Amino acid sequence: MTDRIEPSMIVAHDVDKVYPNGCHALKKVSLSINSGEVVVIIGPSGSGKSTFLRTLNQLETISAGSIRIDGVSLTDRKTNINLVREEVGMVFQSFNLFPHKTALENVMLAPLKVRKLRKDQVRESARELMYRVGLSERMDSYPSQLSGGQQQRVAIARALAMKPKIMLFDEPTSALDPEMVGEVLDVMKSLAAEGMTMVVVTHEMGFAKEVADRVVFMEEGELVTENTPEAFFENTENERLQRFLGQVL
């Protein structure tokens, strides 16, 4: 699985995270993800899967171990984390759109301020992205005027506007009404089909089966097992995974 010769996009090695209050959130988690791969992380709540995802763009710092993104070490003091984050897009459970800006302005903000591109150029590509996520009609709406599914699609467009090499999804459909889950998953599927490197924390087992190249199971801060979706969901050896799948499927 962890092919050492092939260059990996993400290499996490023995990642440990201990919160100041003593909570041991991650215990020696190692995972490497190749370019273009779609990895889905599942596990019960409190298993550390979101925490692990957030260490990949250093929204959470780690206590021990190492993480390399596209060859750049995140634990190296000399690394400019902002430059790494420009290449790693993130989509949040609660969308976190900027409420004081319209949908289009949300998408335009980072390319304007971080990449310092010309405004007409940024507007043009932002329009294309809004079209791509199926929201060309709602560009001038404020987030409060959009449904949850629409907001999450704007959030995906906002992350894509930086033209990242990796996309992280932190339970992107968990805060959505059931009828809106599909529209967001469709955008994610088309993204996967285009060869984007994706790490997805989700409870959508259907998505994992259909889109993932690999499925990872985490519990109590440990990476318990990982496999291709076919083998993963047929797994009968691992007792902890069996118990979890028995509860959710």
Partner 1 sequence: MTVERRVITVEPDQGGEPFVVKKFDNIEINDGDLVFEGDVIAGVESIELGPLAWGLLMTLKLSVVSLIFALFIGLFTGLARISANPALKNLAITYIELVRGTPLLVQIFIFYFFIGTVLDLDRFTAGVAALSVFTGAYIAEIVRSGIQSIAPGQMEAARSLGMTYVQAMTNVILPQAFKRTLPPMAGQFINLIKDSSLVSVISITDLSKAGREVVNSTFAPFEVWFTVALLYLVLTGLLSWLVQRLEKRLSASD
Q: Quote the least distance from Cβ 146 to partner 1, whole Å.
A: 12
Q: Cβ distance 200 to 40 under 8 Å?
A: yes
Q: Return d(Cα 93, Cα 100) in angstroms, integer.
A: 19
Q: Cβ distance 151 to 97 under 8 Å?
A: yes
* Contact window for partner 1 (CB under 8 A) among 137-145, 146-154, 206-214, 232-240: 137-145
Told to check if 17 binds partner 1 by CB under 8 A, we report no
Which amino acid, 241?
L
The shares of helix, strand and coil residues in the chain, as percent rounded to the nearest 5, are: 35, 25, 40
Nearest by Cα to 106 from 114, 97, 115? 97
Q: Cβ distance 34 to 222 under 8 Å?
A: no
* Contact window for partner 1 (CB under 8 A) among 4-12, 39-47, 90-98, 239-247: 90-98
The torsion of the CA quartet 46, 42, 203, 36, rounded to 10 degrees, works out to 130
Q: Which of 159, 166, 208, 211 touches partner 1 (CB under 8 A)?
A: 159
Told to check if 85 binds partner 1 by CB under 8 A, we report yes
Told to check if 165 binds partner 1 by CB under 8 A, we report no
When the beta carbons of 4 and 116 are compared against partner 1, the nearer one is 116
Told to check if 59 binds partner 1 by CB under 8 A, we report yes
Residues 95-134 that bind partner 1 (CB under 8 A): 96-102, 109-110, 113-114
When the beta carbons of 83 and 193 are compared against partner 1, the nearer one is 83
Told to check if 174 binds partner 1 by CB under 8 A, we report no
Query: Total residues at the site for partner 1 (CB under 8 A)?
Result: 29
Q: Return d(Cα 197, Cα 39) in angstroms, integer.
A: 8
**For residue 117, what are its two tokens?**
């591109």
Q: Which residues bind partner 1 (CB under 8 A)?
A: 57, 59, 82-83, 85-86, 88-90, 92, 94, 96-102, 109-110, 113-114, 142-144, 155, 158-159, 162
